[in-house]
């Protein structure tokens, strides 16, 4: 391991890319602390902690690196771009023109990227307005005292805030692009991961205050150590499952006997963290509508039942949450790994899976393999997604503690996945440089 690190650090080009990446991430993090001018920061932070907005806000705050909790100029961060990328990917399945662009090489990819950016701006504006109206039960709750007196122009201030947030998302998208082109790893993933990692010290500080502060005792010390051990165990488990790959052997008809074949690697979790994000977002939409309409589940029967059905803190909500994760795991996995397309490509290349005929039989076998692999992956995703809920209930965390103490969940999958992928890219780049130096 030390020799590998020495090899990487001895490569000036890679070291420069790492420095650029950290510098750009620092710019983003500073931006998450700059509040939008002319707003009531304290009033908005009080609104953000309310239960009827918590689920939706938590998701967005994760992708904004904490920018939403400060209601900063980067309040939405990279989340609109992530949403737009997923939307464009989904539309490729139903719009032939977009599907053709994805198969046109670099030119088609550039056009799709342009469509994604346009979609990002639209989604960012809509999300910003949704959040502002859900928090703005009264103008005093979102606007600074200096502008409250202009009662006839509240709507102008709301649009102004939405425009600032949208501009912040565009700036974040530009930073992510710079990281991708001049730094290491995928820019969007690096920004998300940096925001999550920066919240880890807060989590340990909250745990220390809860268990090692004024209420210190032998039992609390045991619970503190138990949570730390559980956290480490979750990291190791996620690392194992995120790196797990099923290699499908492939033979080529034009190769002589004894020559080595190749294989098709299928990840255990082909869908990555997308199913959990989709499931959380779908469940949060009705709860967000309740927040916008200022309905209280304690006084409104409709709001009460919506909270029971769609909050994954409730039994019915948890069941729906699990079903959605499993559904999207299969849906996205089969979209990412298309058995029919793989079978056709193998047949064109004169390749086959040993024991199965090219064409339809190969397609059926790949579908069966992918189904079994995805079933394991979906189970893994469900467990990781439910662990924070179970831990929160088991250890009696309050609402504010649950928002900072996350054992497992979406955040951990993102961090581990990005770390593995980034390390592979750095390792490949360092090896490529070595080969060039050897040859030239």
User: Which two three-digit tokens encode residue 7?
Assistant: 């090899």
Region 283-300: what's the mean pLDDT? 71
Q: What is the CA radius of gyration of the chain?
A: 24
**How does the average pLDDT of the chain come out, rounded?**
79
pLDDT of 121 higher than 90: yes
**CB neighbours of residue 257 within 10 Å:** 4
Q: Would you say 340 and 370 are in contact if contact means Cβ atoms under 8 Å apart?
A: no
Q: List the 262-267 sheet strands across, edge first.
A: 262-267, 245-252, 351-352
- Which residues, 6 or more positions from 15, have their beta carbon under 8 angstroms from its beta carbon? 8, 9
Model pTM score: 0.77
Other CB atoms closer than 10 Å to residue 368's CB: what's the count? 11
> Quick check: 23 pLDDT over 90?
yes
pLDDT of residue 118: 92
Hey, what domains does the chain have and what are their CATH numbers? 18-186 (1.10.3370.10)
Instruction: Give every CB contact of residue 332 below 8 A, 6+ residues apart in sequence.
Output: 270, 271, 274, 275
Q: What is the dihedral of CA 272, 242, 261, 365, to 10 degrees?
A: -50
Using one digit for the tens of pLDDT, what is the confidence trace for 295-307?
Answer: 666 677 777 787 7
Distances (CA, A) of 50 to 33, 123, 142, 288, 293: 21, 24, 14, 11, 14
With bands split at pLDDT 50, 70 and 90, how would you rate the model's confidence at 119? very high
Question: What is the model's pLDDT at position 51?
Answer: 46
- pLDDT of 376-417, one tens digit each? 999 998 988 888 888 888 887 776 666 666 766 777 888 888
User: Sign of torsion, CA 126 127 130 136?
Assistant: negative
Question: Long-range contacts for 201-209 (Cβ within 8 Å, ≥24 apart)?
Answer: 202/404, 203/404, 203/405, 203/406, 206/401, 206/404, 206/405, 207/405
Whether the CA torsion 140, 142, 146, 151 is positive or negative: it is negative
Highest-scoring range by mean pLDDT, 242-251, 277-286, 320-329: 320-329
User: Contact 77/170 with Cβ under 8 angstroms?
Assistant: no
Token digits of residue 358 = 């090219």
In the structure, what pLDDT confidence band is assigned to residue 242 with cuts at 50, 70 and 90? Answer: confident
């Amino acid at each position: 391991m030390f020799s590998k690190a020495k090899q990487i650090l001895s490569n000036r080009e890679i070291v420069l890319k790492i420095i650029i990446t950290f510098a750009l991430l620092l710019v983003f993090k500073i931006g998450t602390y700059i509040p939008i001018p002319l707003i009531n920061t304290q009033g908005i932070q009080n609104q953000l902690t309310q239960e009827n907005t918590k689920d939706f806000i938590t998701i967005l705050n994760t992708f904004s690196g904490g920018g939403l909790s400060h209601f900063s100029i980067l309040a939405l961060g990279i989340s609109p771009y992530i949403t737009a990328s997923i939307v464009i990917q989904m539309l490729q399945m139903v719009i032939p023109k977009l599907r053709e662009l994805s198969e046109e090489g670099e030119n088609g990819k550039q056009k799709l990227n342009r469509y994604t950016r346009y979609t990002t701006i639209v989604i960012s504006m809509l999300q910003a307005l949704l959040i502002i109206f859900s928090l703005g039960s009264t103008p005093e709750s979102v606007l600074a005292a200096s502008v409250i007196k202009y009662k006839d122009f509240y709507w102008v201030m709301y649009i102004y805030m939405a425009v600032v947030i949208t501009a912040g998302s565009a700036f974040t998208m530009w930073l992510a692009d710079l990281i991708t082109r001049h730094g290491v790893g995928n820019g969007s993933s690096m920004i998300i991961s940096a925001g999550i990692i920066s919240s880890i010290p807060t989590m340990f500080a909250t745990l220390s205050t809860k268990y090692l502060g004024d209420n210190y005792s032998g039992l609390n010390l045991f619970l503190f150590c138990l949570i730390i051990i559980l956290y480490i165990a979750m990291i190791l488990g996620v690392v194992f499952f995120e790196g797990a790959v099923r290699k499908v052997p492939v033979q080529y008809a034009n190769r002589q006997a004894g020559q080595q074949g190749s294989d098709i690697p299928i990840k255990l979790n082909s869908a990555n963290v997308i199913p959990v994000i989709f499931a959380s977002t779908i469940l949060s939409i009705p709860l967000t509508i309740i927040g916008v309409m200022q309905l209280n589940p304690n006084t409104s029967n409709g709001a009460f039942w919506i909270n029971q059905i769609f909050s994954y803190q409730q039994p019915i909500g948890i069941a729906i949450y699990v079903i959605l994760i499993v559904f999207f795991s299969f849906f996205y996995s089969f979209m990412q790994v298309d058995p029919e397309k793989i079978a056709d490509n193998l047949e064109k290349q004169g390749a086959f899976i040993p024991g199965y005929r090219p064409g339809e039989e190969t397609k059926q076998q790949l579908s069966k393999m992918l189904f079994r692999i995805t079933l394991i992956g979906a189970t893994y995703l469900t467990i990781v997604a439910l662990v924070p809920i179970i831990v929160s209930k088991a250890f009696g965390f309050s609402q504010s503690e649950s928002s900072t103490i996350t054992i497992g969940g979406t955040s951990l999958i993102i961090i581990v996945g990005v770390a593995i992928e980034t390390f592979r890219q750095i390792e490949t780049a360092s090896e490529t440089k070595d080969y060039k130096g050897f040859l030239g």
